[in-house]
Copies of this chain bind each other. A is one copy, B any other.
């Protein structure tokens, strides 16, 4: 491709409204343009990357035995009513009526449509197991679309669905999808990690996320230093305390703490050990008799909302009580709540159950109790794992300790059980001619999101550094002053032709631009291999080669350049 016939559309300035580096670089490198909030056009350089990601995903899906189909983006509402998601889904589900006033949605996902298809097309156990997938546009009407294509409203996804009559083939397919996802990310040259994940609103029993590691990642991943164990922080299990409850050494004392509204203030003003304090958080209960529930964690810990959400006594989705609700029920503000004399049910984290001589709010404004001890001052409360794990703690397999990394979720696989098939009565006849409800798995890859995630992981202050497998072009040719020097033009054109003949994707910058502009653009768009041609090089019979990632420069003789670039990574 010649730049003169292309739409390069690079920008020097960092766009004002782009917060994350991938969004900034995708705009600056001419990969995307915004059409409206969360809606983007993919310009040529962006689309080339997107299509490469798509092709790798497709190949690995085919290798894993999945069969490609294509379902419509516009879906009839009645299927969503069958599963109840017409009501359950929030305004992210874009609903509209057609000219005949029939209800439709723009598909944010395709579980309903695929289950409907399979219940009609698959009748016999002989047709199972079956894995179908598509690469299709999705639409989610995000309340605050952001980070460019990382969280857009219209985006490209690969979604696969598998159908089974037995858990064994379900497990086998899940494993082969797990492997396919690893292959996909490895082939793209991305550093990634599969982690145990919460099944969230999709539901089901087993789930893994695939994260591209990047410091800017929205997700926190907790992984073992000594094994493969890794989980999204949402899901990572806290270790059970190894210490036991110690005998009290302090008296229970009611202390005036007028200026300590937070744990940090309390610890500072009274010179306390933060691990000898607790935080009490008030959330809504799941039934009318206990409208509020107190969750107590150690002062230095964080509540894990996903774990808390799963507690039977707690309303789902998790909702924090307002200050007014807390005052009305307890008679004190949120900063002064604690377990002693509390008139609502209490659930404590396992780590709190082994604390002694600790401090907590006294359920009176501006007062705390110090020297609290379980059993002596109040009965030990019910304990559960309701906190985030922290760095250095033991992992549940006992083989190491937790370390933390940030990641961008680009893939997610689930065992769904019969969640959807039961609601939609998707059955097939088994070997005995009996109708059996299907087991289902689902497997998603954020195709457009991978493009952004790859940039988050691979860039420097000059621009993008593409892994070769997904680079828009493998090689960039930068001829210096080719519009003035015939020699440069001739050599550049010959190299351009030779590389194309060798099946190498190449971008020739044939613009009448100053070398500085051309160099800057080439670094910005991040092609892995760059060849510079000037009169100086022609005299020497050598091209100047530069590797984008290492920055390393090398002179390559004319007659070796094609072979050199073929082999270059």
Contacts and interface: CB of A to CB of B under 8 A. Distances in A.
20 contacts: A4-B126, A6-B67, A7-B69, A7-B122, A35-B76, A36-B75, A36-B102, A39-B75, A39-B76, A41-B71, A42-B70, A42-B71, A44-B68, A48-B68, A50-B70, A74-B153, A96-B96, A98-B141, A99-B141, A126-B512
Given A7-B67, A7-B130, A67-B5, A72 B39 contact: yes
Contacts of A6: 67
Quickly give the copy total for this chain.
2
A94 interface: yes
A556 interface: no
Q: Main SS of chain A's interface residues? A: mixed
Interface stretch (A113-121, A204-212, A371-379): A113-121
A116 B33 CA distance: 11
A84 interface: no
A561 interface: no
Contacts of A116: 35
A143 interface: yes
Contacts of A76: 35-36, 39
Contact of A121 (B9, B154, B512): B9
Interface in A18-38: 33, 35-36
A76 to B, nearest CB: 4
Contact of A72 (B9, B40, B121, B122): B40
Contacts of A512: 126
A258 interface: no
Contacts of A4: 126
Interface of A: 1, 4-7, 9, 33, 35-36, 39-44, 47-48, 50, 65, 67-76, 91-92, 94, 96, 98-99, 102, 104, 106, 113, 116-117, 120-122, 126-127, 130, 132, 137, 139, 141, 143, 153-154, 512
A69 B47 contact: yes
Contact of A41 (B7, B40, B72, B130): B72
A74 B39 contact: yes
Contacts of A102: 36
Contacts of A1: 67
A321 B120 CA distance: 49
A191 to B, nearest CB: 27
Contacts of A141: 98-99
A294 B264 CA distance: 90
A243 B104 CA distance: 60
Contact of A33 (B73, B75, B106, B120): B120
Contacts of A74: 36, 39, 106, 139, 153-154
Given A72-B41, A73-B154, A99-B91, A65 B5 contact: yes
Contact of A94 (B7, B39, B67, B96): B96
